[in-house]
Chains A and B, each alone.
Chain A
Amino acid sequence: MRCEEARLQIGAEPGSATPVLEEHVQSCPPCRQFREEMRTLDANIRRALEQPLESVRSPAMGGARTRARGPAVAWRQWALAASVTLATVAMLALWLLRPAESLARDVVAHVRDEPESWLATQHVDAAGIAKALHGAGVELNITSDKITYAHSCWFRGHYVPHLVVQTAHGPVTVLILRHESVSRRHEFHEAGMTGVIVPDGTGSLAVLARGGGNVDDIAAQMQQDVHWLPQGT
Protein backbone atom coordinates (compact mmCIF):
# COMPACT_ATOMS: atom_id res chain seq x y z
CA MET A 1 0.00 0.00 0.00
CA ARG A 2 1.28 3.45 -0.95
CA CYS A 3 1.21 6.41 1.44
CA GLU A 4 -1.32 8.22 -0.73
CA GLU A 5 -3.71 5.28 -0.59
CA ALA A 6 -3.20 4.94 3.14
CA ARG A 7 -3.91 8.62 3.71
CA LEU A 8 -7.01 8.52 1.56
CA GLN A 9 -8.35 5.64 3.61
CA ILE A 10 -7.36 7.24 6.93
CA GLY A 11 -8.80 10.61 5.96
CA ALA A 12 -12.04 9.05 4.79
CA GLU A 13 -12.42 6.50 7.58
CA PRO A 14 -10.11 7.38 10.49
CA GLY A 15 -11.43 4.44 12.50
CA SER A 16 -10.73 1.84 9.85
CA ALA A 17 -8.09 -0.79 10.54
CA THR A 18 -7.77 -3.24 7.70
CA PRO A 19 -4.79 -5.62 7.81
CA VAL A 20 -3.19 -3.94 4.79
CA LEU A 21 -3.56 -0.49 6.34
CA GLU A 22 -2.29 -1.69 9.71
CA GLU A 23 0.77 -3.18 8.08
CA HIS A 24 1.50 0.07 6.29
CA VAL A 25 0.90 2.25 9.35
CA GLN A 26 3.21 0.14 11.49
CA SER A 27 6.05 0.65 9.04
CA CYS A 28 5.35 4.32 8.18
CA PRO A 29 5.67 6.85 11.04
CA PRO A 30 4.26 9.83 9.06
CA CYS A 31 1.11 7.87 8.19
CA ARG A 32 0.90 6.69 11.79
CA GLN A 33 1.04 10.26 13.01
CA PHE A 34 -1.47 11.32 10.35
CA ARG A 35 -3.88 8.68 11.62
CA GLU A 36 -3.51 9.83 15.21
CA GLU A 37 -4.22 13.42 14.17
CA MET A 38 -7.22 12.39 12.09
CA ARG A 39 -8.65 10.27 14.89
CA THR A 40 -8.39 13.21 17.27
CA LEU A 41 -10.03 15.46 14.70
CA ASP A 42 -12.72 12.89 14.05
CA ALA A 43 -13.59 12.69 17.73
CA ASN A 44 -14.08 16.45 17.72
CA ILE A 45 -16.15 16.33 14.52
CA ARG A 46 -18.30 13.67 16.14
CA ARG A 47 -18.75 15.85 19.23
CA ALA A 48 -19.67 18.81 17.06
CA LEU A 49 -22.16 16.85 14.96
CA GLU A 50 -23.76 14.93 17.77
CA GLN A 51 -24.24 17.82 20.13
CA PRO A 52 -27.94 18.09 20.94
CA LEU A 53 -29.82 20.71 19.04
CA GLU A 54 -31.12 23.55 21.11
CA SER A 55 -34.71 23.28 22.22
CA VAL A 56 -35.40 26.99 21.83
CA ARG A 57 -38.24 27.75 19.47
CA SER A 58 -38.29 30.64 17.08
CA PRO A 59 -39.05 34.08 18.52
CA ALA A 60 -42.31 34.14 16.59
CA MET A 61 -43.60 31.05 18.39
CA GLY A 62 -42.40 32.33 21.74
CA GLY A 63 -44.24 35.57 21.17
CA ALA A 64 -47.41 33.73 20.30
CA ARG A 65 -47.25 31.72 23.50
CA THR A 66 -46.73 34.85 25.57
CA ARG A 67 -49.74 36.52 24.03
CA ALA A 68 -51.89 33.47 24.60
CA ARG A 69 -51.26 33.57 28.36
CA GLY A 70 -52.89 37.00 28.62
CA PRO A 71 -50.71 38.78 31.21
CA ALA A 72 -52.34 41.14 33.68
CA VAL A 73 -52.30 44.85 32.98
CA ALA A 74 -50.23 45.64 36.08
CA TRP A 75 -47.65 43.09 35.08
CA ARG A 76 -47.49 44.62 31.59
CA GLN A 77 -46.87 48.04 33.08
CA TRP A 78 -44.05 46.74 35.25
CA ALA A 79 -42.63 44.86 32.31
CA LEU A 80 -42.84 48.00 30.18
CA ALA A 81 -41.07 50.04 32.84
CA ALA A 82 -38.38 47.39 33.22
CA SER A 83 -37.95 47.24 29.45
CA VAL A 84 -37.50 51.00 29.23
CA THR A 85 -34.96 50.92 32.07
CA LEU A 86 -33.09 48.03 30.49
CA ALA A 87 -33.12 49.70 27.10
CA THR A 88 -31.73 52.90 28.64
CA VAL A 89 -28.97 51.00 30.43
CA ALA A 90 -28.19 49.04 27.27
CA MET A 91 -28.04 52.22 25.18
CA LEU A 92 -25.74 53.82 27.76
CA ALA A 93 -23.49 50.75 27.80
CA LEU A 94 -23.44 50.65 24.01
CA TRP A 95 -22.59 54.32 23.86
CA LEU A 96 -19.75 53.89 26.38
CA LEU A 97 -18.32 50.79 24.77
CA ARG A 98 -19.13 51.61 21.19
CA PRO A 99 -15.92 52.43 19.30
CA ALA A 100 -13.59 49.54 20.19
CA GLU A 101 -16.31 46.94 20.78
CA SER A 102 -18.09 47.55 17.52
CA LEU A 103 -14.82 47.72 15.61
CA ALA A 104 -13.83 44.34 17.09
CA ARG A 105 -17.20 42.91 16.15
CA ASP A 106 -16.86 44.15 12.58
CA VAL A 107 -13.34 42.75 12.35
CA VAL A 108 -14.52 39.33 13.56
CA ALA A 109 -17.50 39.41 11.22
CA HIS A 110 -15.24 40.25 8.30
CA VAL A 111 -12.82 37.43 9.07
CA ARG A 112 -15.68 34.99 9.53
CA ASP A 113 -16.95 36.01 6.11
CA GLU A 114 -13.70 34.89 4.56
CA PRO A 115 -13.02 31.48 6.14
CA GLU A 116 -11.01 30.48 3.09
CA SER A 117 -8.37 32.98 4.17
CA TRP A 118 -7.27 30.55 6.90
CA LEU A 119 -6.98 27.70 4.42
CA ALA A 120 -4.37 29.18 2.09
CA THR A 121 -1.02 27.43 2.25
CA GLN A 122 0.80 28.86 -0.76
CA HIS A 123 2.68 32.07 -0.10
CA VAL A 124 1.54 35.16 -1.94
CA ASP A 125 4.01 36.62 -4.39
CA ALA A 126 5.26 40.20 -4.22
CA ALA A 127 2.80 41.36 -6.87
CA GLY A 128 -0.10 39.95 -4.88
CA ILE A 129 1.02 41.71 -1.73
CA ALA A 130 1.55 44.97 -3.59
CA LYS A 131 -1.98 44.68 -4.96
CA ALA A 132 -3.41 44.12 -1.48
CA LEU A 133 -1.52 47.13 -0.13
CA HIS A 134 -2.43 49.37 -3.04
CA GLY A 135 -3.87 52.62 -1.83
CA ALA A 136 -3.61 51.65 1.83
CA GLY A 137 -0.75 54.03 2.53
CA VAL A 138 1.54 51.46 4.10
CA GLU A 139 4.66 49.50 3.33
CA LEU A 140 5.54 46.14 4.80
CA ASN A 141 8.90 44.92 6.01
CA ILE A 142 7.65 41.39 6.30
CA THR A 143 9.05 38.75 3.96
CA SER A 144 6.53 37.56 1.42
CA ASP A 145 7.09 33.87 2.10
CA LYS A 146 5.24 34.23 5.40
CA ILE A 147 2.10 35.69 3.85
CA THR A 148 -0.40 33.13 2.57
CA TYR A 149 -3.34 35.43 1.98
CA ALA A 150 -3.35 39.06 0.85
CA HIS A 151 -6.42 40.88 -0.33
CA SER A 152 -7.67 44.40 -0.39
CA CYS A 153 -11.05 44.15 1.33
CA TRP A 154 -13.95 46.56 1.64
CA PHE A 155 -14.28 47.30 5.33
CA ARG A 156 -16.21 50.15 6.92
CA GLY A 157 -16.22 52.26 3.79
CA HIS A 158 -12.59 51.77 2.80
CA TYR A 159 -10.39 49.20 1.14
CA VAL A 160 -8.02 47.76 3.74
CA PRO A 161 -5.25 45.17 3.45
CA HIS A 162 -6.33 41.79 4.82
CA LEU A 163 -3.35 39.50 5.35
CA VAL A 164 -2.83 36.05 6.80
CA VAL A 165 0.68 35.59 8.13
CA GLN A 166 2.09 32.18 8.96
CA THR A 167 3.71 32.13 12.38
CA ALA A 168 5.19 29.46 14.61
CA HIS A 169 1.77 29.24 16.28
CA GLY A 170 -0.23 28.91 13.08
CA PRO A 171 -1.92 31.39 10.76
CA VAL A 172 -2.71 34.86 12.07
CA THR A 173 -4.95 37.41 10.40
CA VAL A 174 -3.88 41.04 10.20
CA LEU A 175 -6.09 43.91 9.08
CA ILE A 176 -4.36 47.24 8.54
CA LEU A 177 -6.91 49.89 9.39
CA ARG A 178 -5.67 53.31 8.39
CA HIS A 179 -9.05 54.94 8.94
CA GLU A 180 -9.86 53.39 12.31
CA SER A 181 -8.06 55.06 15.17
CA VAL A 182 -8.31 53.65 18.67
CA SER A 183 -7.02 55.31 21.81
CA ARG A 184 -5.64 52.20 23.45
CA ARG A 185 -5.12 48.46 23.08
CA HIS A 186 -8.38 46.48 22.96
CA GLU A 187 -8.44 42.71 23.36
CA PHE A 188 -11.40 40.53 22.42
CA HIS A 189 -12.43 36.88 22.29
CA GLU A 190 -15.21 36.00 19.95
CA ALA A 191 -16.32 33.13 17.73
CA GLY A 192 -13.38 30.97 18.72
CA MET A 193 -10.93 33.73 17.88
CA THR A 194 -8.64 35.80 20.03
CA GLY A 195 -7.82 39.24 18.80
CA VAL A 196 -6.32 42.55 19.65
CA ILE A 197 -6.67 45.99 18.12
CA VAL A 198 -3.75 48.29 18.76
CA PRO A 199 -3.21 51.91 17.79
CA ASP A 200 -0.55 52.29 15.14
CA GLY A 201 0.47 55.11 12.87
CA THR A 202 -2.55 57.16 11.92
CA GLY A 203 -4.90 54.22 12.39
CA SER A 204 -4.79 50.83 13.98
CA LEU A 205 -3.90 47.19 13.44
CA ALA A 206 -6.24 44.30 14.13
CA VAL A 207 -4.58 40.95 14.75
CA LEU A 208 -6.61 37.74 15.15
CA ALA A 209 -5.69 34.14 15.81
CA ARG A 210 -7.93 31.13 16.16
CA GLY A 211 -8.10 29.68 19.62
CA GLY A 212 -5.97 31.29 22.26
CA GLY A 213 -2.89 32.31 20.31
CA ASN A 214 -0.60 35.00 21.64
CA VAL A 215 -1.65 37.84 19.43
CA ASP A 216 0.22 40.51 21.38
CA ASP A 217 3.61 39.26 20.18
CA ILE A 218 2.39 39.30 16.60
CA ALA A 219 0.80 42.71 17.01
CA ALA A 220 4.09 44.05 18.37
CA GLN A 221 5.95 42.51 15.46
CA MET A 222 3.48 43.97 12.98
CA GLN A 223 3.83 47.41 14.57
CA GLN A 224 7.51 47.17 13.67
CA ASP A 225 6.92 45.76 10.21
CA VAL A 226 4.19 48.13 9.03
CA HIS A 227 5.40 51.54 7.89
CA TRP A 228 2.78 54.19 7.46
CA LEU A 229 3.30 56.49 4.50
CA PRO A 230 2.26 60.11 4.60
CA GLN A 231 -1.41 60.69 3.78
CA GLY A 232 -2.13 60.97 0.09
CA THR A 233 0.68 58.69 -1.10
Chain B
Amino acid sequence: MRNSQPESPVSSISTRLPGAHAAAPLTHLFESLRPDLLRFAHWLARDRAIAEDIVQESLLRAWRSRDALKEPGAARAWLLTIVRREHARLYERKRLELVPLEDVVDTQASPRLAEPDGDLFTLRHAIMRLPLEYREPLVLQIVGGFSTEEIARELALSPTTVLTRLFRARNKLRVICGVAAAPDVSDEGAP
Protein backbone atom coordinates (compact mmCIF):
# COMPACT_ATOMS: atom_id res chain seq x y z
CA MET B 1 0.00 0.00 0.00
CA ARG B 2 2.76 2.39 0.92
CA ASN B 3 4.01 4.43 -2.03
CA SER B 4 1.80 2.46 -4.33
CA GLN B 5 0.03 5.51 -5.77
CA PRO B 6 2.59 8.05 -6.85
CA GLU B 7 0.01 10.30 -8.48
CA SER B 8 -1.67 13.06 -6.48
CA PRO B 9 -4.62 11.69 -4.51
CA VAL B 10 -6.62 14.77 -5.29
CA SER B 11 -6.10 14.65 -9.02
CA SER B 12 -6.67 10.91 -9.09
CA ILE B 13 -9.96 11.36 -7.29
CA SER B 14 -11.05 14.12 -9.61
CA THR B 15 -10.60 11.88 -12.62
CA ARG B 16 -12.34 8.90 -11.05
CA LEU B 17 -15.46 10.40 -9.59
CA PRO B 18 -18.40 11.41 -11.74
CA GLY B 19 -19.11 15.10 -11.70
CA ALA B 20 -15.74 15.83 -10.22
CA HIS B 21 -14.86 18.43 -12.82
CA ALA B 22 -17.41 20.72 -11.27
CA ALA B 23 -15.32 20.66 -8.11
CA ALA B 24 -12.06 21.57 -9.82
CA PRO B 25 -11.48 24.66 -7.64
CA LEU B 26 -11.74 22.45 -4.58
CA THR B 27 -9.23 19.94 -5.92
CA HIS B 28 -6.86 22.80 -6.71
CA LEU B 29 -7.32 24.12 -3.22
CA PHE B 30 -6.61 20.70 -1.70
CA GLU B 31 -3.62 20.24 -3.95
CA SER B 32 -2.18 23.63 -3.03
CA LEU B 33 -2.38 22.68 0.65
CA ARG B 34 -0.77 19.29 0.16
CA PRO B 35 2.81 20.39 1.01
CA ASP B 36 1.58 21.85 4.30
CA LEU B 37 -0.34 18.68 5.10
CA LEU B 38 2.64 16.53 4.27
CA ARG B 39 4.96 18.59 6.46
CA PHE B 40 2.46 18.45 9.30
CA ALA B 41 2.01 14.68 8.97
CA HIS B 42 5.75 14.19 8.72
CA TRP B 43 6.39 15.93 12.03
CA LEU B 44 3.67 13.87 13.68
CA ALA B 45 4.60 10.51 12.22
CA ARG B 46 8.39 11.13 11.89
CA ASP B 47 8.37 9.01 8.76
CA ARG B 48 8.06 10.33 5.23
CA ALA B 49 6.35 7.28 3.77
CA ILE B 50 3.83 7.02 6.61
CA ALA B 51 3.19 10.76 6.30
CA GLU B 52 2.39 10.32 2.61
CA ASP B 53 -0.03 7.53 3.45
CA ILE B 54 -1.70 9.67 6.08
CA VAL B 55 -2.10 12.61 3.71
CA GLN B 56 -3.41 10.34 0.97
CA GLU B 57 -6.02 8.86 3.27
CA SER B 58 -6.89 12.27 4.74
CA LEU B 59 -7.51 13.79 1.32
CA LEU B 60 -9.75 10.88 0.43
CA ARG B 61 -11.72 11.39 3.62
CA ALA B 62 -11.87 15.12 3.03
CA TRP B 63 -13.16 14.59 -0.48
CA ARG B 64 -15.88 12.24 0.69
CA SER B 65 -17.08 14.77 3.25
CA ARG B 66 -16.36 17.87 1.16
CA ASP B 67 -19.90 19.12 1.71
CA ALA B 68 -18.95 19.81 5.32
CA LEU B 69 -16.51 22.48 4.16
CA LYS B 70 -18.55 25.64 3.90
CA GLU B 71 -15.75 28.21 3.67
CA PRO B 72 -12.69 27.72 1.45
CA GLY B 73 -10.79 29.88 3.94
CA ALA B 74 -11.30 27.21 6.58
CA ALA B 75 -9.93 24.44 4.38
CA ARG B 76 -6.40 24.48 5.78
CA ALA B 77 -7.41 24.09 9.42
CA TRP B 78 -10.07 21.55 8.43
CA LEU B 79 -7.60 19.42 6.48
CA LEU B 80 -4.93 19.66 9.18
CA THR B 81 -7.49 18.42 11.69
CA ILE B 82 -8.32 15.49 9.44
CA VAL B 83 -4.61 14.70 9.08
CA ARG B 84 -4.12 14.78 12.85
CA ARG B 85 -7.06 12.47 13.39
CA GLU B 86 -5.90 10.15 10.64
CA HIS B 87 -2.50 9.99 12.31
CA ALA B 88 -4.12 9.17 15.65
CA ARG B 89 -6.37 6.61 13.95
CA LEU B 90 -3.39 4.96 12.32
CA TYR B 91 -1.77 4.39 15.68
CA GLU B 92 -5.01 3.16 17.20
CA ARG B 93 -5.75 0.82 14.30
CA LYS B 94 -2.49 -1.04 14.27
CA ARG B 95 0.70 -1.15 16.16
CA LEU B 96 3.20 0.18 13.68
CA GLU B 97 6.53 -1.42 13.13
CA LEU B 98 8.92 0.68 15.14
CA VAL B 99 12.09 1.92 13.48
CA PRO B 100 15.00 3.40 15.41
CA LEU B 101 14.72 7.16 15.20
CA GLU B 102 18.36 7.44 14.17
CA ASP B 103 17.58 5.44 11.04
CA VAL B 104 14.59 7.61 10.20
CA VAL B 105 16.44 10.86 10.61
CA ASP B 106 19.58 9.67 8.89
CA THR B 107 18.02 8.03 5.87
CA GLN B 108 15.17 10.37 5.18
CA ALA B 109 16.44 13.84 5.28
CA SER B 110 20.20 13.58 4.75
CA PRO B 111 20.29 16.46 7.22
CA ARG B 112 24.02 16.88 7.33
CA LEU B 113 24.08 17.40 3.59
CA ALA B 114 20.97 19.53 3.43
CA GLU B 115 21.68 21.57 6.53
CA PRO B 116 25.16 22.88 7.03
CA ASP B 117 23.69 24.74 10.01
CA GLY B 118 24.43 22.27 12.77
CA ASP B 119 22.24 24.07 15.30
CA LEU B 120 19.22 23.73 13.06
CA PHE B 121 19.94 20.06 12.56
CA THR B 122 20.27 19.59 16.31
CA LEU B 123 16.97 21.36 16.80
CA ARG B 124 15.17 19.29 14.15
CA HIS B 125 16.56 16.17 15.73
CA ALA B 126 15.48 17.34 19.18
CA ILE B 127 11.95 18.08 17.96
CA MET B 128 11.79 14.61 16.42
CA ARG B 129 12.76 13.17 19.79
CA LEU B 130 10.13 15.04 21.79
CA PRO B 131 7.45 12.72 23.14
CA LEU B 132 4.23 12.96 21.13
CA GLU B 133 2.41 14.65 24.02
CA TYR B 134 4.78 17.62 23.66
CA ARG B 135 5.51 17.42 19.94
CA GLU B 136 1.87 17.31 18.87
CA PRO B 137 0.72 20.61 20.43
CA LEU B 138 3.93 22.31 19.31
CA VAL B 139 3.45 21.19 15.70
CA LEU B 140 -0.24 22.09 15.82
CA GLN B 141 0.68 25.55 17.06
CA ILE B 142 3.60 26.34 14.76
CA VAL B 143 2.93 24.37 11.59
CA GLY B 144 -0.85 24.32 11.92
CA GLY B 145 -1.27 27.84 13.25
CA PHE B 146 -3.82 26.71 15.83
CA SER B 147 -4.51 28.75 18.95
CA THR B 148 -4.17 27.27 22.40
CA GLU B 149 -7.95 26.98 22.69
CA GLU B 150 -8.20 25.22 19.33
CA ILE B 151 -5.44 22.80 20.28
CA ALA B 152 -7.19 22.13 23.58
CA ARG B 153 -10.43 21.33 21.77
CA GLU B 154 -8.69 19.12 19.24
CA LEU B 155 -6.71 17.17 21.83
CA ALA B 156 -9.55 17.10 24.37
CA LEU B 157 -7.38 18.80 26.98
CA SER B 158 -7.84 21.88 29.12
CA PRO B 159 -6.23 25.07 27.77
CA THR B 160 -3.97 25.18 30.83
CA THR B 161 -2.71 21.69 30.12
CA VAL B 162 -1.96 22.70 26.56
CA LEU B 163 -0.06 25.76 27.81
CA THR B 164 1.93 23.54 30.16
CA ARG B 165 2.81 21.09 27.40
CA LEU B 166 3.83 23.88 25.04
CA PHE B 167 5.96 25.41 27.79
CA ARG B 168 7.64 22.09 28.54
CA ALA B 169 8.23 21.32 24.87
CA ARG B 170 10.07 24.62 24.41
CA ASN B 171 11.87 24.24 27.71
CA LYS B 172 13.27 20.88 26.58
CA LEU B 173 14.36 22.36 23.26
CA ARG B 174 15.85 25.34 25.06
CA VAL B 175 18.15 23.08 27.05
CA ILE B 176 19.18 21.17 23.95
CA CYS B 177 20.10 24.51 22.38
CA GLY B 178 22.50 25.09 25.25
CA VAL B 179 20.40 27.51 27.33
CA ALA B 180 19.69 26.75 30.97
CA ALA B 181 16.26 25.24 31.62
CA ALA B 182 13.62 27.58 32.97
CA PRO B 183 12.07 26.45 36.26
CA ASP B 184 9.32 24.02 35.42
CA VAL B 185 5.72 24.98 36.05
CA SER B 186 4.28 23.16 39.03
CA ASP B 187 1.70 20.71 37.70
CA GLU B 188 -0.26 20.27 34.54
CA GLY B 189 -3.42 22.22 34.83
CA ALA B 190 -2.24 24.22 37.81
CA PRO B 191 0.17 27.02 36.94
Binding site for B on A (CB under 8 A): 4-5, 7-9, 11-14, 34, 37-38, 41-42, 44-54, 56-58, 60-61, 109, 112-113, 115, 118-119, 121, 170-171, 189-193, 210-211
B:96-150 near A, CB below 8 Å = 102, 108-110, 112, 114-115, 118-127, 129, 138-139, 141-143, 148
User: Are A49's CB and B143's CB within 8 A?
Assistant: yes
Chain A residues within 8 Å of B126, by CB: 115
User: Are A45's CB and B166's CB within 8 A?
Assistant: no
Cβ proximity bits B158-169 to A, threshold 8 Å, 1 near / 0 not: 000011101110
User: Are B110's CB and A54's CB within 8 A?
Assistant: yes
A sample of 11 inter-chain contacts (CB < 8 A) reads A9-B163, A11-B168, A12-B148, A45-B123, A49-B127, A49-B139, A54-B110, A58-B49, A121-B175, A190-B112, A192-B118
Chain B residues within 8 Å of A34, by CB: 182
User: Are B112's CB and A45's CB within 8 A?
Assistant: no
Binding site for A on B (CB under 8 A): 3, 6, 35, 38-39, 42-43, 48-49, 102, 108-110, 112, 114-115, 118-127, 129, 138-139, 141-143, 148, 162-164, 166-168, 170-183, 185-186, 191
Chain A residues within 8 Å of B166, by CB: 11-13
- Known contacts A12-B167, A45-B138, A45-B170, A51 near B124 by CB under 8 Å: yes
A49 to B176, CA, bound (A): 16
Closest residue of A by beta carbon distance from B138 = A45
Q: Mostly helix, strand, loop or mixed at chain A's interface? A: helix
Chain A residues within 8 Å of B180, by CB: 121
A49 to B183, CA, bound (A): 25
User: Are B167's CB and A44's CB within 8 A?
Assistant: no
User: Are A211's CB and B119's CB within 8 A?
Assistant: yes
Chain B residues within 8 Å of A109, by CB: 102
Closest residue of B by beta carbon distance from A189 = B118
Closest residue of A by beta carbon distance from B179 = A37
The 4 lowest CB-CB distance pairs between A and B, nearest first, are: A192-B118, A11-B167, A192-B122, A12-B166
B127 to chain A, nearest CB (A): 6
A190 to B112, CA, bound (A): 8
Chain B residues within 8 Å of A37, by CB: 174, 179
Chain A residues within 8 Å of B168, by CB: 11
Closest residue of B by beta carbon distance from A11 = B167
User: Are B173's CB and A115's CB within 8 A?
Assistant: no
User: Are A45's CB and B127's CB within 8 A?
Assistant: yes
User: Are A119's CB and B176's CB within 8 A?
Assistant: yes
- Known contacts A191-B122, A210-B122, A42 near B176 by CB under 8 Å: no
Beyond A11-B168, A44-B123, 13 extra complex contacts between A and B, CB < 8 Å = A12-B148, A41-B173, A44-B177, A45-B170, A48-B123, A48-B124, A50-B39, A58-B3, A112-B102, A119-B175, A119-B181, A171-B178, A210-B122
